[in-house]
Structures are given as structure tokens and as C-alpha cells.
Amino acid sequence: MDYKVYLMLGFHINFYHSWRGDTPDEAGFGTDMRVIRGVLDMLDQANAAGKKARGYWDTEVYWTFQEILPKHCPDILERIRARVSAGQDEIVLGPFNNGANHAATADEFRAAVSWAIENPWGSGLRQLFPKVTPFYRPQESVFTTGQEQILKECGVEGLMLYYALVPFNTLGVFTPALSLERRHNPFWFRSHADQPPLVVFPAMSAADVIEMTSLETMLLDLHTRQVRGEIRSDVVIHLNEDADLESWLPFKLPRCLRWFPNTGGLDEYIRLVNKYPWADFTVPSEYLTGHPPQGEVLVRQDLADGAFDGSYSW
């Protein structure tokens, strides 16, 4: 059987930063606006040229979609909405206001999730977009034991959490080593036996790509293992990064050095996926349609991403 290697790109939007200012310039969220417009340009230009290029956007709601985008950059909202409406990209939930979900009461957490979907101010993602993928990407991957029930009550079916070789990581040290098929496919997750299972799409960051040399190396390695019979399924390389990360944009290098891996930004990823007939882009709901979760992972510890696992780093 001819198996494929998919690439799923997650752009994490949050214009309100603890380490940068609150102004629409490079000292503040002007960086977010510049990089996200660059990402949208690359996606739109690739699609206009007949190339495969897509991803999903996960976001908090209050600061970005209610306060900042309408005032400072409504074009970004309209361009993402257009791509979601066309079925090219997907929009994924995040907490309403980046609140400390791990410190929330049950009612506070329920509000953080439900208000991200719909709220009295009209900024809920279901109020802004024609379709919302029922997955939840916690801010900083913070997840506390027992939150599954509330997420399910709010209509959330799954989580985006890191299973990575290098930081950021959440699940890696709390589970036995997962096989490549499991690591690159969705699986069931719960934090306690009495909680309903959620689907987890294990993610990694650009640091994992560099650890494996390059995205092309990862693609070729996984496909070679498929051809050899070591991997007997489709697999997905799931990269989730802040949407304001400069590495989404190509480095400004002399022409003679532009071949160097990991310097071409999103354009490099698009070129590589379109280079190989067995490679393709995907988005969460589409991949799940043909690839139901396999196996279950039980993690009883609190989670957060960073250089340590659990909530230690926070």
C-alpha cells in the first residue's frame, strides 16, 4: 500500500504578550501583524500558483479577535476568514483571554472555553467564522487533570499538545516511548480513568525539525520507513508554532546560500511538500476523517510546555 507523509502546520495567534509591548509597532504586536501578513501572502501566492499550501490557526479570543484585530488590522481577520470559508485553512479554539486555566475554578474554566466559542460581545470564533474545528490548544499547553469533562461539555473533541524531542514538550516524559506510527498520528488521551477520552494531535516545534536536520530529512526518513514496512500507516508531521515567529519568513540570504536548510521559512515547507508525490498538507478535521485515533495515552500529571514538563516551568 502507498502510504503518505502529511504536513500539518499550526499558527498560534496571540497578540497580547507578557514580554513585548502593547503598541502596533515592532516593540509590540506590530511584529505579529508583519509576520502573519507574510504567512498569509505565502499561502495565498502558493495557492494562486496551483500549489498545495494550507494550515490551521489557533487563537485566544479576547485580546486578539475582540480588542486588537478589529482596531489595528481587520485585514488579517478577513484574510483568515476567507481561507477558512474556502476550506483551505481551519480555525482552532484557544482560551478566551489567556487566563491561567490551571488555576481556574470549574466555572472559570468553563467560561474560558465556552466564551471562546460564543460570547455576549460577538467575538466568539463561531460568531466570526463559518466553521470552527472542535479542538482546543491550551495557552502554553497548560492542562490540569480532570479538565476533559468540561471540554466535552463545551463541545470540544480534542487537544493540541506537544510530544517532542526537545522543548517545547508536554507529554514526552510522562509516557513510554511512542512508536513512530503513534507519535505521528492522533491518539486518545485522558488524565484520569473516570474522564471522557479526548483526541490528541501530538505536535512538535521548529526545534524538532532542526534536531532532525531539516523538514526534508524528516519527510524522507518517514517515507523510507513506510516503503520498508517499518511504518504501516500514513503519518503526519504536526508543527505548531507562534504565528509571530520570525522563522516562518525566509531569511534574507545571498542567492548562493538560499539552498541552506531551515532558512526558507514557510516557502521552504511549501516547496518540499509540493516536491514529492507522496507528501501532502492536511488540517485537523480532514486528517481525522480518514485516520481515527489509535491507542490511548493516560497522563495523570499536570502539563505545560517549556524546558521542563508538568507545571514546574510555570
DSSP assignment of 202-256:
EEB-HHHHHHTS-HHHHHHHHHHHHHHTS--S-EEEEEEEETT-GGGSPP---GG
Output DSSP code: residue 96.
Answer: S
Compute the C-alpha angle 281/282/284, nearest 5°.
Answer: 155
In the three-class reduction of DSSP (H, G, I as helix; E, B as strand; rest coil), residue 99 is classed as: coil
β-strand pairing of 198-203 with 56-59: unpaired
Please give the torsion angle defined by the CA atoms of residues 223, 227, 233 and 239, in that order, rounded to the nearest 10 degrees. Answer: -10
Q: How far apart are CA 68 and CA 61, in angstroms?
A: 10
Residue of 3, 51, 2, 6 whose CA lies nearest to 280:
6
C-alpha cell at 105: 475554578
Across 216-237, b (16+ Cβ under 10 Å) vs e yields: bebbeebbebbeeeebeebbbb
Q: What is the mean pLDDT of residues 259-264?
A: 86
- How much is the average pLDDT of 141-153? 94
Identify whether 168 is preceded by a cis peptide bond (ω within 30 of 0): yes
Instruction: Give the span between the Cα atoms of 312 and 314, in whole angstroms.
Output: 5
pLDDT at 313 over 70: no
- Cell numbers given for 260: 541552506
pLDDT at 282 over 90: yes
Which amino acid belongs to residue 42? M
Residue in the structure block whose three cell numbers are 516503503: 227
275 three-state secondary structure: helix
Q: So what's the pLDDT on residue 258?
A: 77
Task: Read off the pLDDT of each residue in 13-33 and give the average, rounded to a whole number.
Answer: 92
Residue 291: other Cβ atoms inside 10 A: 16
Residue 48, C-beta contacts closer than 8 angstroms, at least 6 positions apart:
none
Cell numbers given for 156: 470540544
The model's pTM = 0.95
Mean pLDDT over residues 172-188, rounded? 93
pLDDT for 19 equals 83
